[in-house]
Amino acid sequence: MAMARTARVTSGRAAEDARKPPGTPPAPAPYHHGSLRQALLRAAEHILEHDGVQGLTLRAAAREAGVSHAAPKNHFGDIKGLLSDLAAVGFERLAGTMRANVHADDEPRARMSALGQGYIAFARANPGLFLLMFRGERLDVTRPALRTAMDAAFGLLSGTVTESENSPGEAKLTLSRAARIAGAWSLVHGLSMLLLDGRLKPLISRLPAGTDDAALVVAIFSASDPDR
């Protein structure tokens, strides 16, 4: 009987998710023994995307996941721990989205463009999670999972800048190289924020018919390539 009830709940949630707009995070799956931490993180993300960080508490996550109020504290300690581990999940996904946009035979500049477009695509598909990932006052960046995930995502961008300079091996960080890394990050992060805030809509509305924000992003990366 319990298995049949779980199947009905799962089917109902799937039908509910199918009716939601694209990019909406799925409703948390029913909790199964052995996956409580993952269930709580899914629940937290669901709340984050619907109610914002202000609506995300340990009790809200427990309620969304259908577990006791003490469960999140046992796994994450406090709300900062939960938010930090959720941000770590976000950085892991960000890195995965950037990598998925790159082809093995891409030249360094094409690779940088692909990574940048992946960065922006992730931000637009996961606005609540993306904003959380860069709210340092809400996160504990000393947590190993978060630190590792942040370094991996940032390393994709900084490593590609080094590749574009044709420097053999691990290049020493110079002021000019740091400036290029910061410039590349500023470009993709700034574009992401402008798109999330809708600040580019007036500009896009003046472009020829049929030109959308995706075309503008591609053009921006092309314009930033000095070889083009």
Q: Is 189 exposed, middle or buried (0-12, 13-18, 19+ CB in 10 A)?
A: middle
Nearest to 116 by CA among 130, 103, 102: 102
Please check whether the two domains, 34-77 and 80-223, share a CATH topology.
no
Both structure tokens of 113: 């463009």
Give me the tens of pLDDT residue by residue for the chain, a chain 228 residues long.
333 333 433 444 444 455 444 455 555 544 444 589 999 999 999 999 999 999 999 999 999 999 999 999 999 999 999 999 999 999 999 999 999 989 988 888 889 899 999 999 999 999 999 999 999 999 999 999 999 999 999 999 898 877 766 554 456 788 998 999 999 999 999 999 999 999 999 999 999 998 999 899 989 988 765 444
Q: How far apart are CA 90 and CA 109, in angstroms?
A: 25
Q: How far apart are CA 32 and CA 36, in angstroms?
A: 7
The structural domains of the chain, with segments of one domain joined by +, span 34-77, 80-223
Q: Which amino acid is at 205?
A: S
Going through the chain in order, the beta strands assigned E by DSSP cover none
CA distance 185 to 141: 19
Q: Which CATH superfamily is domain 80-223 in?
A: Tetracycline Repressor, domain 2 (1.10.357.10)
Q: What is the DSSP string of 149-214?
A: HHHHHHHHHHHHHHHHTT--SS----HHHHHHHHHHHHHHHHHHHHHHTTTTHHHHHTSPTT--HH
* pLDDT of 165: 61
The pTM of the full predicted model, rounded to 2 decimals, is: 0.80
Alpha helices in the chain (DSSP H): 2-18, 36-51, 58-65, 71-76, 79-100, 108-125, 127-133, 144-164, 175-196, 201-205, 213-223
Give the model's pLDDT for residue 82: 97
CA separation for the pair 67, 40 (Å, rounded): 9
DSSP annotation of 29 reads P
Contact partners, residue 123, CB within 8 Å, separation at least 6:
130, 192, 193, 195, 196
pLDDT for 109 equals: 84
pLDDT score, position 160: 84
In tens, the pLDDT along 11-67 reads 444 444 554 444 555 555 444 445 899 999 999 999 999 999 999 999 999 999 999
Report the pLDDT value the prediction gives residue 173, as an integer from 0 to 100. 83
Report yes or no: 171 and 165 within 8 Å, Cβ to Cβ. Answer: yes
Phi, psi of 199 (to 5 degrees): -70, -20
Instruction: Select 34-77's CATH number: 1.10.10, 3.40.50, 3.30.200, 3.40.720.
Output: 1.10.10
